[in-house]
């Protein structure tokens, strides 16, 4: 039995043998399982909306357990709080426990988008910029989940 990685986000550290163009080293990938047959696959990012990746085609079926062992598991995209104050270049700072949105670039490097309360907004909502700050892996793994209830528009 081949022990393949669990579904989730990963950064590749080595190219997938025989599929080096589709799954190169230093890339963000999503590993999933097909519903129809349970086969494990990897796919690169497709479209980015609201600082989140949406996946598409082509997918690559995974058959190499040894390649799966080279993947670096990444925290899920979503909302977190930061564990410490972050000083910004040119002045300014993000305070400890600030709410941030975690996203990734195509290389699987974490990007934080700070939550903003726009005072002139009529609705009581937080907004997240489409411009973020690249972070180091040490901060990436130290982020604390901040569950925020997703609400869909009723039709």
What's the burial of 75, exposed, middle or buried (CB within 10 Å: 0-12/13-18/19+)? middle
Q: Spell out the domain ranges in the chain.
A: 8-73, 78-145
* pLDDT tens profile 26-48: 999 999 998 898 889 999 999 99
CB 29 within 8 A of CB 74: no
Query: Is the pTM higher than 0.85?
Result: yes
Query: Rounded mean pLDDT of the chain?
Result: 92
* pLDDT tens profile 80-126: 999 999 998 888 899 999 999 999 999 999 999 999 988 888 888 88
For residue 1, pLDDT over 60 is answered with no
Confidence of residue 146 (pLDDT cuts 50, 70, 90): very high
CB 129 within 8 A of CB 114: yes
Distance CA 71, CA 66 (A): 10
Q: Record the tokens describing residue 86, joined without a space.
A: 């972050």
């Amino acid at each position: 039995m081949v022990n393949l990685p669990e579904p989730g986000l990963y950064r590749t550290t080595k190219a997938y043998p025989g599929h080096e163009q589709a799954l190169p080293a230093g890339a963000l990938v999503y590993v999933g399982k097909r519903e129809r047959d349970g086969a494990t696959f990897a796919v690169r990012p497709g479209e980015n909306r609201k600082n989140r990746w949406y996946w598409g085609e082509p997918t690559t079926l995974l058959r190499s357990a040894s390649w799966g062992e080279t993947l670096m598991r990444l925290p899920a995209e979503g909302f977190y709080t930061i564990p410490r104050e972050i000083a910004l270049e040119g002045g300014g700072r993000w305070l400890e426990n600030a709410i941030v949105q975690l996203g990734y670039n195509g290389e699987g490097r974490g990007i934080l988008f700070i939550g903003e309360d726009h005072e002139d907004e009529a609705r009581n909502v937080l907004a997240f910029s489409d411009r973020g700050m690249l972070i180091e892996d040490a901060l990436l793994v130290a982020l604390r989940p901040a569950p925020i209830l997703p609400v869909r528009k009723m039709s």
